[in-house]
Amino acid sequence: MIFAEEMDKAILNLYKAYSIYRGPQLPVILNSISSSYRWAGFMDQAILFNRKMVELNGDSATYFYNLGKIEEYRGNYEKAGYNLERSYAFDSTEINTLQDLIEVFSIMNQKKKSLKYANECVKRINASGSIQINYSHRIGYIYWINGNKKESEIYLNEQKHYCYESIRLKLQGVATKYVYYDLAAVQAFMGEKDQAIENLMIFNQRTRMPLWVVTLIKNDPLFDSIRDVPEFQQIVRDVETKYRAEHERLRKWLNEQGML
């Protein structure tokens, strides 16, 4: 995963690799360039390099996954869901696609579809224990809106436990502050509104924000209980302001480097 603080270096190094390397890993480099542009909010370039990638290796699953993520970052959730489902049809083993389907369809409040993918993800968890730390609460939310309160509470509390343990152990998500976003989301949904605001304020200490955070915080149903709270609204404004400032800084730099 590329973090916004490393975006300049990441794109520059990937571009250098792209300019000189013609080996079998070239599609991987192109995919990474596309993902970096997507994070920074330059979607035309993200689409361009995604197309270059699929022209080389014919990887339709990754191609449609990237299209789905581009639309998700834009807030076009119907198109995001459509492309992610196409990706999943090509490769149903990819856990990232499955987890993104969970998020997208829960944001769209499509109860049946989100439950379908949540149940599939739970099967994977039971089989292998493999799930990203920031998705248990998404499963919990889906169970809740589908009326399964008992299962919902299990996954919501698991997410809280993961977040508290990450903070205690000072894992990567603590340094980047993303763990505080996930913890706040669970707390807001479970009615712990003051604690949610406190943790969002810690998350808001990030100096730079990628586009996906802007889109998600504006649409995340887990925050519906505090959406009208002035402190939450200010945090949303701060997040967007930081993204726009970083996007403009990167735009100027990319133009100077001839990479935009």
Per-domain boundaries in the chain: 1-58, 75-131, 133-255
User: Tens digit of pLDDT for each residue in 89-148?
Assistant: 999 999 899 999 999 999 999 999 999 999 998 888 777 755 555 689 999 999 999 999
Q: What is the pLDDT of residue 31?
A: 94
- pLDDT above 90 covers what percent of the chain? 74
User: How many of the other CB atoms lie within 10 Å of CB of 127?
Assistant: 8
- In angstroms, the CA 82 to CA 228 distance is 31
How far apart CA 59 and CA 13 sit, in angstroms, is 23
- Cβ atoms of residues 102 and 68 within 8 Å: no
Q: Reduced to 3 states, what is the DSSP secondary structure of residue 92? A: coil
Tell me how far apart the alpha carbons of residues 147 and 156 are, in angstroms, rounded to a whole number. Answer: 14
What are the backbone angles phi and psi of residue 240, rounded to the nearest 5°? -70, -40
Q: How many C-beta atoms surround the C-beta of residue 153 within 10 A?
A: 14
Which fold, 1-58?
1.25.40
Using one digit for the tens of pLDDT, what is the confidence trace for 10-63? 788 888 888 888 888 899 999 999 999 999 999 999 999 999 999 999 999 999
The amino acid at 23: G
More confident residue, 12 or 178: 178
Question: What average pLDDT score do residues 203-212 get?
Answer: 93
pLDDT of residue 130: 56
Q: What is the pLDDT of residue 234?
A: 98
